[in-house]
Amino acid sequence: MSAHQGEGSGKQASASASWRDALCWCLSVLFAGLMLAAACARAVPSTSEPAQPASATPAGPEGNATPGPAHTPQHSTATASPPFTRTLTIWGPDFRAPLDESPGGAEFRAQLQAFEAAHPGWRVEYVRKKPYGQGGIVHFLKATHAVAPELLPDLVLVDMSEVGLLADASLLQPLDSLLGPEITSDLMGFAREAGEVDGELLALQDEAELRFLVYNSALIAEPPSTWAEVLATRSSYLMPIGATEGAVRDAFLPQYLAVGGKLVDREGQPYLDAALVKAVLEVYQSAREAGLLLASGLDLKDASDCWPVYLASRVAMTNVSSWDYGRERTSRLTTTRVGPLPTLSGNPISVSSGWGWALISTRTERQKVAAELLQALLRPEAMAARCRLTYQLPTRRSALRLAIGDPAYLEFLERLIEVTIPQPREPAYGLAVKALGPAIESVARGELTPEAAAARAVEAMRAARQELASGSQS
C-alpha cells in the first residue's frame, strides 16, 4: 500500500477510533515494508562493481559468451566489491582491439579480463581510433592535449615510427623505472632503439615485423649475400619497384641504410645522401638490364604483394615480411628457405616495423596501475600467446623462444634481430618515401639514369625539408 493510497483512505473515513486503528495498522505495515526493502538493498550487489568492457567478453568453445573474471561469485557481494569503479583507458587501432574479428583479439581480451580480476575496482576500456592521418591516433592525441588534456587516455598503442611526434609534443612518460629491468633488459635492441628518445624509453614495442629474403632452394643452392652474387646467379629476383611506400620500406631502404645512409642530418633535419641513393639505384639498373629484376614488381606495392606471386610461380627469390612468411611456413613451403637480404657490402640488415605501448597519464596512481597492466601484457607467455595468433614477432628475447617452435627458423631470427634496425621515424620517413618512390620507378622503367633519379630525390627531400621548416614557423 502506497503513502498516497493511505492518505486517500483517511480523507474518506470518520474521526472514530476504528479509523485511527486502521491508520496505525497501515502505517505499521508501511514502516515494516520500508525496513525490509532497506535490508534487501544492502544484500544486492553493488552497482559500482567493475563492469566488463563490451569488447572484452570472452567467447566460449561454441562462440557463446562466457562469464568473465569480474562476474565470478566472490565479486558479487557488497563486502567483496570496491565502493567505486575506475577506468583505465587505452587508445589503439581497430586491428589491435580485443575483439573476435581482430587477429589475436580474443586472447588480448582474456588477458585484459585477467588483469581486471586481479585489480578489483578497475576496468580497462579500449577505445578504437584511426591508425593514421587526420583524426588518427597521433593527431587526436595532440589535439586533445591542446584543448582538453583531462580527456587523454592512460595508455596508447602507437606506430613506433611516430614516437618522435608524440615525444616532441611532450605527451609521453618514461617507462624504464615503471616497468623495471626484467622487461627492459630483455628487449631486442631494435625495439629499445625504436622507443628511446634522448636516452629515455618512451614507448615499448611489443610486436615486430622484420624483412628478409626467401628463395627457392630448387633453383638456388645458397642465398646471395651481395648484389654482385645476385647478378652472378642469373636468377630472377622479385621486389616492389614502383613509386610506393613498400618499394622504399621493403626493398630500397634496407640497402640504403646498410651502406650508412641516413634520413636525417646532424641537426635532425630530413636528408638524403645523393651518392648512396645513386649507388643503390645503380644495382637496380644492372639487375634490370640483366633481366633479373622482374618488371612485374612495378605493379606490386609491397613485399606482401610479392609473396603470393612467389608462391605461385618459378620466381627464384623475393623479399618477404616475417608476417607473411609466418602464416605459411608450416604448410606448403617445402623448398623455400630464408636468408638475410643481399646488400651492396654484404653486411646483413633487416628493418623492423610495428606498434607498441606508450604511457600518457601523468598521475602517479594511474601510472602505477597502467604499469601493472603493461607488466602483465608483456610477460613472455602473454606476448607469445598473442603473437602466435597474429603472426607478429614478440620483442622480448624470452618471448620469441616461446612463440617460435621451429628450431631452424628460431635460430635464423635470433641472428637476424642482431642486425635489425627500426624503421626511421616520422616525419623524415614519410618525406623519404615521397622522394624515393618516383626515383626507384623511373630507374626500373629505364626512364632516368641512377644519377639523375638520385638528384631528383635529393632535391625533392630538400624542398620538403624547407616546406616543413616554414610550416613549423607559421
Q: Is the pLDDT of residue 338 over 80?
A: yes
CATH number, domain of 384, equals 3.40.190.10
Give tens-digit pLDDT for 171-198.
999 999 999 999 999 999 999 999 999 9
Q: Do 81 and 120 contact (CB within 8 A), yes or no?
A: yes
pTM of the model: 0.81
Confidence of residue 430 (pLDDT cuts 50, 70, 90): very high
pLDDT at 95 (0 to 100) = 96
pLDDT at 472 (0 to 100) = 66
Average pLDDT (217-240) is 96
Average pLDDT (250-274) is 96
Average pLDDT (345-354) is 96
pLDDT at 176 (0 to 100) = 97
Minimum mean pLDDT range among 61-70, 192-201, 329-338, 394-403? 61-70
Give exposure, 453-471, as e/b (b: 16+ Cβ within 10 Å): bbbbbbebbeebbeeeeee
The domain boundary, picked from 376, 391, 406, lies at 391
Confidence of residue 82 (pLDDT cuts 50, 70, 90): low
Is residue 275 a part of any domain in this protein? yes
Check whether residue 156 and residue 240 sit in a common domain: no
Is residue 46 a part of any domain in this protein? no
Q: Do 241 and 247 contact (CB within 8 A), yes or no?
A: yes
Percent of the chain scoring above 70 in pLDDT: 81
List phi, psi (to 5°) of 125.
Answer: -115, 125
**What is the DSSP pairing of strand 122-129 with strand 86-93?**
parallel
Q: Is the pLDDT of residue 312 over 70?
A: yes
Give tens-digit pLDDT for 385-403.
999 999 999 999 999 999 9
Check whether residue 72 and residue 98 sit in a common domain: yes
Q: Is the pLDDT of residue 2 over 50?
A: no
Confidence of residue 328 (pLDDT cuts 50, 70, 90): confident
Give tens-digit pLDDT for 286-305.
999 999 999 999 999 999 99
> Residue 220: how many CB atoms within 10 A of its CB?
16
Q: Is the pLDDT of residue 100 over 70?
A: yes
Check whether residue 240 and residue 197 sit in a common domain: no
Confidence of residue 468 (pLDDT cuts 50, 70, 90): confident
Check whether residue 286 and residue 216 sit in a common domain: yes
pLDDT at 331 (0 to 100) = 67
Is residue 10 a part of any domain in this protein? no
Report DSSP state, residue 423.
P
Total domains in the fold of the chain = 2
Q: Do 325 and 215 contact (CB within 8 A), yes or no?
A: no
**What is the DSSP pairing of strand 336-339 with strand 207-208?**
unpaired
Rounding to the nearest 10 degrees, give the CA dihedral for residues 384, 389, 390, 392.
40
pLDDT at 23 (0 to 100) = 38
pLDDT at 418 (0 to 100) = 97
Give tens-digit pLDDT for 19-42.
344 434 443 433 334 333 333 333
Which are the contacts of 314, defined by CB distance < 8 A and separation ≥ 6?
216, 219, 236
Give tens-digit pLDDT for 147-164.
999 999 999 999 999 999
Check whether residue 131 and residue 256 sit in a common domain: no
pLDDT at 369 (0 to 100) = 98
Is residue 277 a part of any domain in this protein? yes
Which are the contacts of 82, defined by CB distance < 8 A and separation ≥ 6?
48, 49, 50, 120, 121
Check whether residue 111 and residue 226 sit in a common domain: no
Q: Do 166 and 427 contact (CB within 8 A), yes or no?
A: no
Is residue 6 a part of any domain in this protein? no
Is residue 12 a part of any domain in this protein? no
Of the two residues 72 and 159, the one the predictor is more confident about is 159
Check whether residue 385 and residue 282 sit in a common domain: no
Domain range for 60 is: 54-205+355-391
Check whether residue 237 and residue 268 sit in a common domain: yes
